[in-house]
Structure 1
């Protein structure tokens, strides 16, 4: 949106103050920017502006571009790391599908491998032949994946351009990036196929003389031992983290415990699969006796295959369950913080970077407003008494309107006296102070106006002000000019009248500033919850990728299972099983597999996420909230996923010709 300069200034900067000005020389592109900076410096100095203190800084356009590029690079660096984590999850989930596919393929081709061994092929040759197949699958799949990713980026660019957010520049794609992507995909495919390839390589040549070569399932004892060992490691790590949440390595122990718990889940899945599936199949057996019983038998018949098929879904749903609990816990904790610490009738927030100072002055001037307490902040280097940067080398220094605490905001006093803020001292949140900063210590604050000494007058415990050093607003003004501060929130208290009328009056006062929102405490909580939901939507979108891959794995396994059981299906059809009954049986198998993976994954994810409030209570997670409704909805969604995944395999099974199926070898 473009506005005339006078309209923009009147709307967004009615106080006449702006954060930056762009200056263009008249010398064209070849003009010396350093010389232009010197000219502007001289003009400002002659006009009475003290440039030396840093309150106003003049920089070249090249410096601005470099600073913005570095800032964007920092943000995108975090996003890149975030996306790489989910790419690793997608590869891990995809490896399950590849391994399961090759395991079923090897199982069906055991006679072929035995014949190869009988005519002289060595185990190494059989092993290598399967790995070569896996490598071909990896190369083709990775190439298609890269092409699909580029296509998706172009679709997103077109969609953003349609919304007025066109992305400039070309895609930063080079041969190295493509090569690394294809190499990683191929390596994952080869590694995933190694275990099935080993089983094929070790088939005895004498098996070629038999009509039917069986691939006996090994004992699950080893999986049980490994799973129990991992469970013990997970339990020990989580117990240590929960018993000593303030220990320096508590978060590391939590990560180790969570990783061990997920691996234990995957290891124990075949062991517990039969019992869990039998329980899940009970309604189908009772409601649809022949189809339910057949489906249960097919799923339980090969617990390793069922666990591998459901394993991808377990991982995805464990992450979804954990994310859902974390989001609900965060929202509940935020609501508790606002309820306990905010004692204001209205809250002002900005839809832009900050609230204009003029808006605060206009609200304070209203007759029905008893107090309008603003919180302005600046990010400044703060050194502790030892001069080594203390617990936080760069801290959020908050300037609060004098008298705020005890009037519109209540915080827990740990030590000292909040009244000493009026004497120019600071209140330090205990999450910043730790054991290093005490009442009476002197902090060193470095700002654009120089270096300042600041004495700690109180230590408080507050989630509302976060990890901050709080001073009165007039003290912060001596550190940074008001235009360099950002007013984040304003708490408004009325003089005892109707809150609805007060809201209309405040809304009218801030209407010229456009970007200021007036909310009640309940709406303030809802606004913060909406921000969490927006982050959660992005998280769910990324996790949806792993779930889509897991669903494709179920489809793939069912399709291969139909091929593997072609003769069995023909015999069932010959003795009277109808096409619809057969398709229903396949659908129940798919639903049981999907619900099994979802239930186990959610149980593990919710269990791990439930430990977070104990460890991170100081960071704001003060109350555990488990959204049972959302979790039940995910289980219901698993049923839908199972039905959809069974459509193609079910139709394929129903269309098999009885005579051809019976004679199939």
Structure 2
């Protein structure tokens, strides 16, 4: 089914892509079609600019509304807005070719005034052709720039959360769910430099009675764990953990439409419903679940799948955390189930999963670069054929073969960098909008991967240079007399 779907989508995309060129070919006047070279004057870009600008403006408005959750459905607005921005830019890119070439061609015009001028003018002469060639790389780079910026921002946010939310010096997690960590805990407590080991954070699945009983996860926490894991009280206070009551996460409160003073029924240990009063609504970025109770209350409801979620370890004053961590690891190494982390380890572990996604995006970038390179080769090859007489005249007035090759190389680099630059300009703001949307009410941290973006631009220059090899070689080999000959 995947193969059939891919073929169908490929055919549809190919047909859609051929519609405008087919229409343009059908509307070409016969006299114009009989010319030895195209020589067709470029149509004005006014209408295209207006249409593209309007689509971009609508996309920006929708994307901003979605990112700020100003309207519902925010997620749909976000996606539609991003699509409109990309489509609008593709439509209006020919308008951007002139100003962009003036900027991107400046270094080449400074280094080699003649070659830089020839390449810049050739690139600007067919803005539609230049824009369509650069668009393939633009879309690929926009995707990667968005992913890289989003991933970098997420890693920065998670690192900040880990640093501020976890007050314990070390955190132990298990490879497998375990209900009795006493053996490992005893070994940890015996390590020189360990001040305390907290095992209060247990998790289990309770049932909310009704015609269709619904599961709800309950976590027990000591007073120390509440502080060590930075449980934030949105409403209510610590009495939820001292008076035998219940604290619930704010997302659960919203979904169940309950608040302070309300009661929630859970099946008790004997199978009968037990009423719990909600004394706090909390928020946390670490242990996110539906309900939180004290250790004493944890045994009251009927719980399934009880296991220790995390073990919190504090290091005594005067001891090096890294050294104590290594000794704790050694003490439980033969048990094979315990993993010991400090704050940097936790941030790195989270970052590894994000890096895996980035690797996939970089693979997509590689594919888009190959496609873009082929497009540049084709465009420049057609351009060389179209400008045979122009190249012949340049050779006749003294431009060397090396100069011809140089102008083609410069033209190719300008096109490639143009696509990459627009992709970056689009991708980074889109990533910032996505980060804002994902953060919701939390403070978002924006981190732009300047190094990665710089590498992308460097790759664009290399791709442009490589893609120009065959067209430049063909242009340099043109026979001057044959190129300028007329019948």
Q: Could you say whether these structures have the same fold, taking a TM-score greater than 0.5 normalized by the shorter chain as the test?
A: yes
Structure 1 residue 512 displacement after superposition:
1.3
Q: Which whole-Å CA distance do the structure 2 matches of 1:325 and 1:456 have between them?
A: 40
Q: Which whole-Å CA distance do the structure 2 matches of 1:605 and 1:210 have between them?
A: 42
The match for 1:496 among 307, 317, 327 is: 317
Query: For each residue in 1:565-584, what CA deviation from the matched residue of structure 2 results, as whole angstroms up to 9, or x when unmatched?
Result: 22322332233222222222
User: What's 2:229 paired with?
Assistant: 409
User: What's 1:25 paired with?
Assistant: none
User: What's 2:9 paired with?
Assistant: 184
Q: Does the C-alpha gap of structure 1 residues 521 and 323 become closer, same or farther in structure 2, counting only changes over 3 Å?
A: same
Is 2:413 the counterpart of 1:588? Answer: no
Is 2:439 the counterpart of 1:655? Answer: no
Structure 1 residue 640 displacement after superposition:
1.5
Q: Which whole-Å CA distance do the structure 2 matches of 1:600 and 1:203 have between them?
A: 31
Whether the aligned pair in 1 keeps the contact of 2:51 and 2:88 (CA below 8 Å) is: yes
Q: Does the C-alpha gap of structure 1 residues 362 and 583 become closer, same or farther in structure 2, counting only changes over 3 Å?
A: same
* Unaligned segments of structure 1, at least 5 residues: 1-175
Q: Does the C-alpha gap of structure 1 residues 315 and 619 become closer, same or farther in structure 2, counting only changes over 3 Å?
A: farther
The match for 1:222 among 35, 41, 47 is: 47
Is 2:137 the counterpart of 1:313? Answer: yes
* Unaligned segments of structure 2, at least 5 residues: none
Is 2:92 the counterpart of 1:268? Answer: yes
The match for 2:245 among 418, 425, 445 is: 425
Q: Does the C-alpha gap of structure 1 residues 494 and 654 become closer, same or farther in structure 2, counting only changes over 3 Å?
A: same
Q: Which whole-Å CA distance do the structure 2 matches of 1:251 and 1:177 have between them?
A: 27
The match for 1:440 among 243, 251, 261 is: 261
Structure 1 residue 488 displacement after superposition:
4.4
Structure 1 residue 277 displacement after superposition:
1.3
Structure 1 residue 413 displacement after superposition:
1.2
Work out which structure has the larger RCO, using CA pairs closer than 8 Å and 6 or more positions apart in sequence: 2
The match for 1:193 among 18, 36, 50 is: 18
User: What's 1:100 paired with?
Assistant: none
Structure 1 residue 597 displacement after superposition:
0.9
Q: Which whole-Å CA distance do the structure 1 matches of 2:40 and 2:268 have between them?
A: 73
Q: Does the C-alpha gap of structure 1 residues 225 and 209 become closer, same or farther in structure 2, counting only changes over 3 Å?
A: closer
The match for 2:188 among 336, 352, 363 is: 363
Work out the number of aligned pairs and report it.
481
Q: Which whole-Å CA distance do the structure 2 matches of 1:242 and 1:527 have between them?
A: 28
Q: Does the C-alpha gap of structure 1 residues 212 and 589 become closer, same or farther in structure 2, counting only changes over 3 Å?
A: closer
Structure 1 residue 210 displacement after superposition:
5.8
Whether the aligned pair in 2 keeps the contact of 1:612 and 1:621 (CA below 8 Å) is: no
User: What's 1:570 paired with?
Assistant: 392
Query: In the TM superposition, what are the counterparts of 1:65-144 in structure 2 within 5 Å?
Result: none
Whether the aligned pair in 1 keeps the contact of 2:260 and 2:279 (CA below 8 Å) is: yes
Q: Does the C-alpha gap of structure 1 residues 638 and 374 become closer, same or farther in structure 2, counting only changes over 3 Å?
A: farther
Q: Does the C-alpha gap of structure 1 residues 507 and 614 become closer, same or farther in structure 2, counting only changes over 3 Å?
A: same
The match for 1:551 among 351, 356, 373 is: 373
Q: Which whole-Å CA distance do the structure 2 matches of 1:394 and 1:581 have between them?
A: 74
Query: In the TM superposition, what are the counterparts of 1:148-227 in structure 2 within 5 Å?
Result: 178-207=3-32, 214-227=39-52
Q: Which whole-Å CA distance do the structure 2 matches of 1:573 and 1:447 have between them?
A: 92
Query: For each residue in 1:44-100, what CA deviation from the matched residue of structure 2 results, as whole angstroms up to 9, or x when unmatched?
Result: xxxxxxxxxxxxxxxxxxxxxxxxxxxxxxxxxxxxxxxxxxxxxxxxxxxxxxxxx
Q: Which whole-Å CA distance do the structure 2 matches of 1:640 and 1:470 have between them?
A: 56
Q: Secondary structure, in 3 states, of the residue corresponding to 1:624?
A: coil
Query: For each residue in 1:81-135, what CA deviation from the matched residue of structure 2 results, as whole angstroms up to 9, or x when unmatched?
Result: xxxxxxxxxxxxxxxxxxxxxxxxxxxxxxxxxxxxxxxxxxxxxxxxxxxxxxx
Query: For each residue in 1:534-590, what CA deviation from the matched residue of structure 2 results, as whole angstroms up to 9, or x when unmatched?
Result: 222123223432333222222221222222222322332233222222222111111
Q: Secondary structure, in 3 states, of the residue corresponding to 1:434?
A: helix
User: What's 2:383 paired with?
Assistant: 561
Q: Does the C-alpha gap of structure 1 residues 400 and 657 become closer, same or farther in structure 2, counting only changes over 3 Å?
A: farther
Whether the aligned pair in 1 keeps the contact of 2:369 and 2:463 (CA below 8 Å) is: no
User: What's 1:326 paired with?
Assistant: 150
Whether the aligned pair in 1 keeps the contact of 2:218 and 2:289 (CA below 8 Å) is: no
Please, what TM-score do these two structures have when normalized by structure 2? 0.87
Query: For each residue in 1:405-432, what CA deviation from the matched residue of structure 2 results, as whole angstroms up to 9, or x when unmatched?
Result: 12x2222211122342254433222233
Q: Does the C-alpha gap of structure 1 residues 414 and 222 become closer, same or farther in structure 2, counting only changes over 3 Å?
A: same
Q: Does the C-alpha gap of structure 1 residues 412 and 180 become closer, same or farther in structure 2, counting only changes over 3 Å?
A: closer
Whether the aligned pair in 1 keeps the contact of 2:195 and 2:313 (CA below 8 Å) is: yes
Please, what TM-score do these two structures have when normalized by structure 1? 0.65
Q: Does the C-alpha gap of structure 1 residues 576 and 478 become closer, same or farther in structure 2, counting only changes over 3 Å?
A: farther
Query: In the TM superposition, what are the counterparts of 1:8-23 in structure 2 within 5 Å?
Result: none
Q: Does the C-alpha gap of structure 1 residues 277 and 353 become closer, same or farther in structure 2, counting only changes over 3 Å?
A: farther
Query: For each residue in 1:491-542, what CA deviation from the matched residue of structure 2 results, as whole angstroms up to 9, or x when unmatched?
Result: 2112334024422331122211234332221222222222211222123223
Mean alpha-carbon deviation: is it higher for 278-287 or for 504-513?
504-513
Q: Does the C-alpha gap of structure 1 residues 508 and 207 become closer, same or farther in structure 2, counting only changes over 3 Å?
A: closer
Q: Secondary structure, in 3 states, of the residue corresponding to 1:405?
A: helix
Q: Does the C-alpha gap of structure 1 residues 342 and 302 become closer, same or farther in structure 2, counting only changes over 3 Å?
A: same
Q: Which whole-Å CA distance do the structure 2 matches of 1:655 and 1:449 have between them?
A: 91
Query: In the TM superposition, what are the counterparts of 1:446-525 in structure 2 within 5 Å?
Result: 453-466=275-288, 468-472=290-294, 484-498=305-319, 499-525=321-347
